[in-house]
Structure 1
């Protein structure tokens, strides 16, 4: 499939996405960009749209944004370098007119990005003249599968670069190229594109301190079913990454972050100030095991439950999980949403605590009836699970709805009232 501009002026793009994030990105490009021809392969979502570059920069679940040059079936490269160069020239580089059309679109989008009111006509003419010259480039190739047995990325970068120079007349520049040509070759796909932005979309300029990856934090916030004036709680907020993503999605919401670690809360406050949201988020130093909030007082609870070496906390989370879940269930109102990011181990454990998860396990035969512990959290109804990658490990995002207020909670509230 070759990239071309349609009659309506739309262009083919693609975004890279972390493992497990493709479904979020598919929904986002359809909803925010009114995109068409939306499709995906693992780690990439392709689409056509007329949206301007600034609109595409507001995609929150994407890693990087590219103009699509070519999306083709898998390319098998001969082990002989000379023959491989011929195949690359035909199947990866292809028609020079295609590259000229893509560079024309790339130049237009860069002009849109850099446009400012004070730019003079002379500077515009100079930039237009420069855009007609052959660009400098470098190749960034990622190869997997059968081809990776014969060629490493460095070798392919060189072979593809030579093919581009010979076919297009472009000059290689490894240090400060005009464009970077990205090539992805696997046993299933061959994708060629040019990135539109120097910084990844996943980089958030408003974060002074980083914690959970921003794309996953946004995905968790998007699952909270936020409405006007929603009250959102993160009982183990760390540096506040999830809350800052949620603030972007719900301008009139109320956001509360809690953490027992004062140093983490200090960083969270600095993040909120850097993002210009200091009036929107309240931070409280508190234990997640005894939340200082009334029962049924928040609309959504969202939490990256700590695990692993980097983000672990002082407590044994496996032992603490039942009480932690009970506290989250208590403060959540009926109809509210609970979103949790859990390690694979904690995800397995929670099946024994939430009846709806236990029944699901029984239905697929993964857990025997004698293994299932019908826990007290019977007001939580499982809505979805999403497996996502955290780099060195995977995790699961669980989403629940609170269907009713448990009877013991009602009795407890009555006693407090009396």
Structure 2
């Protein structure tokens, strides 16, 4: 199994590497859109997926209309050769997706965290700007709460000082070497526990799709279990199938092996403003782009009798 060479300039400074899923035949529309909307570079596609490099900006990425889902790319490799390899060796090859290059995983995780943190900061700033009165009231509440906390802490400190003075008078000021060693050991144990807790804070889930020769040898659940065990051993993460912090997406077939992180929990293809089920939103957007319909354009002359499809196309023509 040989890895596909990485594209140059895939770091955070030059831009992050993403890929979108798309319906068959819609790849050219996605390629054209990512170039126009995101100023993407190194755009390439395979069946059902479009890979590109762009600056990580959630506000711009959310505006994609022709893509189904958006992922942050971790790895893209040639497919696994399952014809002449045993099942146990295949499991080892899958685990090497993580163990051979852990830095690519850590870089992708850092980019993913930065995206979420920047988006959260922007939302907080927008909420503060929209509600200045609430912001002032919240600041006053925080100041009052801090004052009350400081008063409580001062009272506790005074009580502790009195207790310490009484103990010192009773037991003396000398601390034996044995007590010092015990204190150092307890502090080291606490520090180790804190470090272990920080490393294990991240919870994850593996979502797998497989087809072709790989699907005849392994099920999606088996592949997800192999990858999950490798991630736990390599990074110390914890598995959580119901409500994870991070989702790992893996697609294995006879053409490629792709690993990525979903950028959004909700697919890009879901449109909150489409009430009736007509055409799929991505197909409707492609039809509207081919018809060169601008924003708020009318489609009555195109589809005078198909009200459902007309509403879907009209809703999709928001450029």
Specify which of 179, 193, 209 is matched with residue 246 of structure 2.
179
Aligned Cα root-mean-square deviation (Å): 2.7
3-state DSSP of counterpart to 2:44: strand
C-alpha contact 2:24 2:47 (8 A) present in aligned 1: yes
Q: Which residue of 1 aligns with 2:95?
A: 89
| TM-score, with structure 2 as normaliser | 0.69
Q: Which residue of 2 aligns with 1:219?
A: 286
Q: Which residue of 2 aligns with 1:156?
A: 223
Specify which of 61, 81, 101 is matched with residue 56 of structure 1.
61
Specify which of 20, 27, 48 is matched with residue 25 of structure 2.
20
Alignment of 1:19-168 (within 5 A): 19-77=24-82, 80-91=86-97, 94-115=100-121, 116-117=124-125, 134-168=201-235
- Unaligned 5+ segments in structure 2 are 129-137, 143-196
Q: Which residue of 2 aligns with 1:189?
A: 256
Spell out, residue by residue over 1:256-307, the C-alpha distance to the aligned partner (whole angstroms, 9 max, x if none). xxxxxxxxxxxxxxxxxxxxxxxxxxxxxxxxxxxxxxxxxxxxxxxxxxxx
3-state DSSP of counterpart to 2:234: helix
Distance across 1 between alignment mates of 2:68 and 2:37: 16
C-alpha contact 1:70 1:92 (8 A) present in aligned 2: no
3-state DSSP of counterpart to 1:29: helix
Distance across 2 between alignment mates of 1:80 and 1:179: 31
Alignment of 1:289-304 (within 5 A): none
> Which structure dedicates a bigger proportion of its chain to helix?
2
C-alpha contact 1:184 1:191 (8 A) present in aligned 2: yes
Structure 1 residue 23, shift from structure 2 partner:
0.9
> Which structure dedicates a bigger proportion of its chain to strand?
1
Distance across 2 between alignment mates of 1:98 and 1:106: 12
Choose 192-201 or 169-178, whichever is displaced more. Answer: 169-178
C-alpha contact 1:89 1:163 (8 A) present in aligned 2: yes
Structure 1 residue 42, shift from structure 2 partner:
0.4
Distance across 1 between alignment mates of 2:20 and 2:283: 15
Alignment of 1:197-236 (within 5 A): 197-226=264-293, 231-233=298-300, 234-236=303-305
Structure 1 residue 190, shift from structure 2 partner:
0.5
Q: 1:7 to 1:138 in 2, by over 3 A?
A: closer
Structure 1 residue 167, shift from structure 2 partner:
2.0
Distance across 1 between alignment mates of 2:12 and 2:282: 33
Q: Which residue of 2 aligns with 1:303?
A: none
Q: Which residue of 2 aligns with 1:244?
A: 315
Structure 1 residue 46, shift from structure 2 partner:
0.3
Distance across 1 between alignment mates of 2:243 and 2:296: 47
C-alpha contact 1:136 1:178 (8 A) present in aligned 2: yes
Q: 1:231 to 1:139 in 2, by over 3 A?
A: closer
Q: Which residue of 2 aligns with 1:391?
A: none
**Which structure's CA Rg is the greater one?**
2
3-state DSSP of counterpart to 2:247: strand
Choose 220-229 or 165-174, whichever is displaced more. Answer: 220-229
Distance across 2 between alignment mates of 1:44 and 1:213: 18
Q: 1:227 to 1:85 in 2, by over 3 A?
A: closer
C-alpha contact 1:33 1:51 (8 A) present in aligned 2: no
3-state DSSP of counterpart to 2:32: helix
Q: Which residue of 2 aligns with 1:271?
A: none
- Unaligned 5+ segments in structure 1 are 123-129, 250-418
Q: How many residues align?
A: 241
